[in-house]
């Protein structure tokens, strides 16, 4: 099942927003975990976040069984939403957050 939610948008904004905006839920193909995909597009450019309580790739790399990481893509052209790369950022042992900008 897929759930689509609304993303709040500033009513005073004159920017073009997208029908792709929303929150989507699905199942990971490697380990059948529940994943959450958030898409926010403004002016034909999209930010995408993919969350999973335990990315199996991060678990294998770090040994952390939960809150393993986040996958992100920034400034994706809306016309490319069917073909883009996500960067996977894994939380390192002993850490509680990851800096996706460095």
- Find the Cα–Cα–Cα–Cα dihedral 91, 84, 82, 54, rounded to 10°: -10
pLDDT value at residue 17 = 59
| Res 6: pLDDT | 41
Tokens 């883009």 label which residue?
84
CA-to-CA distance for 102 and 12, rounded, in angstroms? 33
pLDDT of the residue at 16: 56
Name every residue whose Cβ is closer than 8 Å to that of residue 43 and which is 6 or more positions away in sequence: 15, 16
Q: Provide the residue-wise pLDDT of the chain in tens; the chain has 102 residues.
A: 333 334 344 444 434 556 789 899 888 777 787 888 999 999 999 999 998 877 888 888 888 777 678 889 999 999 998 899 999 888 888 887 888 887
| Nearest alpha carbon to residue 45 among 6, 84, 3 | 84
């Amino acid at each position: 099942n897929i759930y689509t939610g609304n993303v709040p948008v500033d009513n005073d904004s004159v920017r073009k927003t997208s029908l792709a905006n929303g929150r989507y839920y699905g199942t990971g193909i490697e380990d059948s975990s529940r994943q959450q995909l958030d898409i926010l597009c403004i002016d034909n450019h999209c930010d995408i976040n993919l969350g999973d309580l335990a990315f199996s790739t991060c678990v294998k790399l770090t040994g952390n069984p939960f809150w393993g990481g986040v996958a992100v893509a920034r400034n994706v052209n809306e016309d490319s939403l069917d073909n883009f790369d996500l960067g996977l950022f894994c939380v390192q042992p002993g850490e509680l957050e990851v800096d996706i900008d460095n």
